[in-house]
Structure 1
Amino acid sequence: MPSDLSPIDKAKFVAAKQASLYVEDGMKVGLGTGSTAAWLVKCLGERVQDDGLKIKGVPTSSRTAALAREVGIEVMSLDEARWLDITIDGADEYDGNLNLIKGGGGALLQEKIVATASDQMVVIADASKSVETLGGFPLPLEVVPFGWQTTKTLIEETLIGMDVLGRKVSLRMNGEAPFYTDEGNHILDLHLNRIGNARQLSLVVNQIPGVVENGLFIDICDIVVIGHGDGRVEMRDINEGMVQEARHDFIETDNLFADLND
């Protein structure tokens, strides 16, 4: 791959490269959404093309599905797959217990469904996504369009009793129009600054009429693969209580990574 990437893109690439090694021949693989997950799809595509890896991918968005097909990965639906061997995805934040905030790309509902239908979830991230306490990144909630302003008011009232530092709620926009998810829903972003009890908040907000799902992934992630701009990679396994390290070198070449601008 080109060696003139920015440090953050190098970190994303080496994390994706390392995470792709968890995938074995014959696996059914959940494919995440977002810039880091796009690197993963490219890495798997390279293995499909160069090594003859045979896998079936279950994408978490239409964008990921299109990219997977482009790089030669066979795509199937979750209904066809029923259950997955592994899901690999990015995260907007992760804490020391590998709890996550996801949904910055607007695909949190499909991402959570796919992740929980997998034997294992591996998260790929750069070191900047590590936090002591979740909440610095706005927490996305997927809500149905019908009565969304009422839903927003109910969320704001509910947050008064929660252990959070901020309570601003905003409708995610796509230019001048509201953003729509692949399921035809809106996203409300909760600017909380700090979430004192993520488990409680996740349970409470999901009880609000109109809320489909939230972007807190609690007790779902098994391994986080953390990339660094110098090629170093850390693998933290929450189940085994292990931390391992690896390194990937950057070489100047012209291959399928050259057009990745996500």
Structure 2
Amino acid sequence: MSTSSTSADAGKRAAAAAALRFVEDDSIVGVGTGSTVRYFIEGLASRRGRIEGAVSSSEQSSALLRAAGIAVLDLNACGPIPLYVDGADECDPWKRLIKGGGAALTREKIVAEAARRFVCIIDPGKRVDVLGRFPLPVEVIPMARSLVARKLVQLGGQPVWRDGVVTDNGNWILDVHNLRITDPPGLESEINQLPGVVSVGLFARRP
């Protein structure tokens, strides 16, 4: 293992451990998706008897939670939850995010919206001055893939179909390259309004 990967791994573990202190006893915890969240789930397993359960943003995380002995709950039966913990692919100085590298962006956005507090756990390598170095994921209804891709080209991006990937919702992902996102809330709203878009991996409009 290289020194850089070891350092990144240590950063992820440290971020996950820091997030555990926000977990309240007898509460329901929203849990995101990704490599850093895996470490959070490992830590959460040590206190599984002190929480009611978890709401998961992906089938992948649901499997990890169940393997750790943590009950996975339906958000529809829970109502608002106190805490959602997730990672990000990029974070700018104003804490606006690109998420969706794991293709779970829509469910992540739903659980984040249902939570009173969203704690984002990232290692230092995810910090950027301007969003867009990481390709922006957009979840689309399959029949609208080409239509949405043409619209994204008009917005200045280069969309690439993540071929072979189907989201937990049965949809497809377009990864938009070559963007320099100077107005994340504006672009989030604009892409979300495109017919055929389920959700965009910009998390910028949440207060």
* Same fold, judged at TM 0.5 (above): yes
Partner of 1:192: 178
Q: 1:123 pairs with 107, 120, 124, which one? A: 120
Opposite residue 174 of structure 2, the aligned amino acid is L
1:219 positional shift: 4.2
Question: What's the % identity of the aligned pairs?
Answer: 41
1:31 positional shift: 0.3
Partner of 2:152: 155
Partner of 2:100: 103
Deviations 1:206-255 (A, max 9, x none): 1111111100101437xxxxxxxxxxxxxxxxxxxxxxxxxxxxxxxxxx
CA contact (8 A) 1:32 1:89 kept: yes
TM-score by length of 2: 0.94
CA contact (8 A) 2:28 2:51 kept: no
C-alpha RMSD of matched pairs (Å): 1.4
Between 1:30-39 and 1:188-197, the stretch displaced more is 188-197
Opposite residue 141 of structure 1, the aligned amino acid is V
Deviations 1:50-70 (A, max 9, x none): xx3223100000010010011
Q: 2:161 pairs with 171, 191, 194, which one? A: 171
Partner of 2:139: 142
Opposite residue 16 of structure 2, the aligned amino acid is A
Q: What pairs with 1:243-254 in structure 2 (closer than 5 Å)?
A: none
CA contact (8 A) 1:155 1:208 kept: no
CA contact (8 A) 1:142 1:185 kept: yes
* Inter-partner Cα distance in structure 2 for 1:192 and 1:30: 32
Matched, 1:33 2:27: no
1:172 positional shift: 0.7
Alignment partner of 2:30: what SS? strand
Q: Which has the higher helix share?
A: 2
Deviations 1:175-224 (A, max 9, x none): xxx31000000000111341121111111111111111100101437xxx
Tell which structure's C-alpha radius of gyration is larger: 1
* Inter-partner Cα distance in structure 2 for 1:37 and 1:118: 17
Opposite residue 17 of structure 1, the aligned amino acid is A
1:84 positional shift: 0.8
* Inter-partner Cα distance in structure 2 for 1:18 and 1:147: 41
Partner of 1:225: none
Counting matched residue pairs gives 203
* Inter-partner Cα distance in structure 1 for 2:50 and 2:13: 19
Higher relative contact order (CA 8 A, sep 6+): 1
Opposite residue 86 of structure 1, the aligned amino acid is L
* Inter-partner Cα distance in structure 2 for 1:8 and 1:72: 27
CA contact (8 A) 1:45 1:73 kept: yes
Q: 2:203 pairs with 194, 217, 230, which one? A: 217
TM-score by length of 1: 0.75
Q: Which runs of 4+ in 1 moved over 6 A?
A: none
Q: Which segments of 5 or more consecutive residues in structure 1 lack a partner in the other structure?
A: 161-166, 222-262
Matched, 1:74 2:71: yes
Alignment partner of 1:120: what SS? strand
CA contact (8 A) 1:179 1:187 kept: yes
Q: Which segments of 5 or more consecutive residues in structure 2 lack a partner in the other structure?
A: none
